[in-house]
Chain A
């Protein structure tokens, strides 16, 4: 015969397992979301770029495309992921590269903003802008996803 006292521990255990399982799912999805990058451009842009071209844009070697890249500030996690997944260089190597480009008079590094919201706002207002963000939940209609980096 099942009494309330016998059922309660089982329910408690089941509930605890449910919370742990759900939490793990949520954690996994948030980690996955954090590891995903979204390359965004203005909605009016007709561009179709591959990953190599996106890298070239942010390294200043695709000037013929007439794009204005926007970087997040150094130390931003999203920027670190972009360096890892798209540029394929460490932050220090990228800084050395831009020191060479800047002080040889060849080109200047991309514009930098402090937050992803600022990057999205800049892309929204500039037809030739391109940026990267980790979340597209708050993307306005004037900004679209060009490329997804897993």
Chain B
């Protein structure tokens, strides 16, 4: 998705004005920090027909591999300007500028980011592309594959606090978004009129606790196949039913996370719930969790992760009268068909992984994931094995991760 031109102008203005002020200053070059991260991920799925997250039964390097560059320009003590761009062949991501914002820090405990940035839905949402930052190759799919949008244009504020026993932060953001949204087998235009959230983080010794709430108004462009039905329902006065076939409403996200790190072991768990209530029947109420247990034997670490998601749809009452006219009966049949064929993405996964830290900024990982959906479900698979009543398979991956 393309960064809003307004924020491009902010970034360029900040950099140019800072460079102009420091044109004769030999330290102006020091104000610009260039960093990079990337990953090369190879993967293979063991199913002949099914495809999961772009992986099929041939060895693939495209799906999760990427390289990114980040520019941090420290204009002065309080202002910095940041741009981050990625290049990838992953179908679920788009190459280009991901982050573009001005960073204002009026004090040691208060900071604001204004511009294009990632929404911090979950513990690792805003570093999902930085594989070096987390133990898995693929963060648990039942949880980390499920949200409408990942970025927003707006402002995020953060307040840090600490005392002799604990530390923490509060973050709050408000913004909007207009762009593309990629799902397992479709790309749609999405308009987010507003989105805001509140995130609390609390650290006590080796424990980290996180609680987050997000809400936004989503308007996804209708699927091309549904558009004629929606139009026909509107034309015949069934506006409420027509609206129920649109993805337009106010989903809420709630997540709780707990993280424990020590020299020997680590533990992570997150529980999330996404719900649009009755406003978007095409979007299920989803409850997901993962739990990771890990063991450190430096420079190696191993983990076992269990994850699952459960999706439940709300089906509104069908109000199209039956038996009055063939056209109405056909409309009723089509509406029922849409409700009855909503995908079931319930999914369970178990992952075993090993990480080897080659150096302070390079890591090798290997991972094996067992996936299992529900009978008749889609289970987030892009392509289903139609010979199987239940989608399942094993995904094997190998990765090289780095940061500079």
A→B interface (CB under 8 Å): 49-50, 52-53, 56, 61-66, 74-75, 84, 88-93, 95-97, 99-100, 102-106
Q: Is B361 an interface residue (CB 8 A)?
A: yes
A-B interface, 8 closest residue pairs, ranked by CB to CB distance from nearest: A92-B357, A61-B167, A100-B133, A74-B360, A99-B133, A62-B162, A104-B126, A63-B108
Q: How far apart sit A97 and B82, CA to CA, in the bound complex (Å)?
A: 20
Residue from A61, A97, A103 within 8 A of B37 (CB atoms): A103
Pair B263/A89 contact, Cβ less than 8 Å: yes
Best-buried of B103, B117, B203, B361 by chain A (most CB within 10 Å): B203
Pair B360/A91 contact, Cβ less than 8 Å: yes
Q: List 25 A-B contacts (CB under 8 A).
A: A56-B162, A61-B162, A61-B167, A63-B160, A64-B109, A64-B161, A65-B162, A88-B263, A89-B263, A90-B296, A91-B357, A92-B301, A93-B301, A95-B403, A96-B132, A99-B132, A99-B133, A100-B124, A100-B130, A100-B134, A102-B35, A103-B37, A103-B127, A104-B120, A105-B113
Tally of B interface residues using CB under 8 Å: 48
Within 8 A of A (CB), among B54-110: 70, 82, 84, 99, 101, 103, 108-109
Kindly report which residue of chain A lies nearest to residue B294, judged by CB atoms. A93
Contact with A along B109-135 (1 / 0, CB 8 A): 100010001101000101100101111
Q: Is B235 an interface residue (CB 8 A)?
A: no
Pair B160/A99 contact, Cβ less than 8 Å: no
* Chain A residues near B363 (CB-CB < 8 A): 92
Pair B162/A95 contact, Cβ less than 8 Å: no
Q: B252 to chain A: closest CB distance in Å?
A: 23
Pair B261/A93 contact, Cβ less than 8 Å: yes
Q: A24 to chain B: closest CB distance in Å?
A: 30
Contact with A along B340-361 (1 / 0, CB 8 A): 0000000000000001010011
Q: Is B313 an interface residue (CB 8 A)?
A: no
Pair A99/B37 contact, Cβ less than 8 Å: yes
Kindly report which residue of chain A lies nearest to residue B37, judged by CB atoms. A103
Q: How far apart sit A75 and B359, CA to CA, in the bound complex (Å)?
A: 10
Q: Is B298 an interface residue (CB 8 A)?
A: yes
Pair B127/A95 contact, Cβ less than 8 Å: no
Q: A102 to chain B: closest CB distance in Å?
A: 7
Residue from B84, B133, B203 within 8 A of A56 (CB atoms): B203
Pair B82/A105 contact, Cβ less than 8 Å: yes
Pair A56/B167 contact, Cβ less than 8 Å: yes
Pair B203/A61 contact, Cβ less than 8 Å: yes
Q: How far apart sit A92 and B161, CA to CA, in the bound complex (Å)?
A: 26
* Chain A residues near B169 (CB-CB < 8 A): 61
Q: Is B48 an interface residue (CB 8 A)?
A: no
Pair A105/B101 contact, Cβ less than 8 Å: yes
Q: How far apart sit A53 and B403, CA to CA, in the bound complex (Å)?
A: 28
Pair A100/B301 contact, Cβ less than 8 Å: no
Pair A95/B109 contact, Cβ less than 8 Å: no
Q: Is B262 an interface residue (CB 8 A)?
A: yes
Given contacts A53-B164, A63-B108, A93-B261, contact A104 B298 (CB under 8 A): no
Contact with A along B304-325 (1 / 0, CB 8 A): 0000000000000000000000
Residue from A49, A88, A92, A100 within 8 A of B127 (CB atoms): A100
Q: How far apart sit A103 and B69, CA to CA, in the bound complex (Å)?
A: 10
Residue from A65, A103, A106 within 8 A of B403 (CB atoms): A103
Given contacts A53-B162, A65-B162, contact A93 B266 (CB under 8 A): yes
Q: Is B165 an interface residue (CB 8 A)?
A: yes
Pair B109/A63 contact, Cβ less than 8 Å: yes
Given contacts A95-B361, A99-B130, A105-B113, contact A90 B82 (CB under 8 A): no
Within 8 A of A (CB), among B1-59: 35, 37
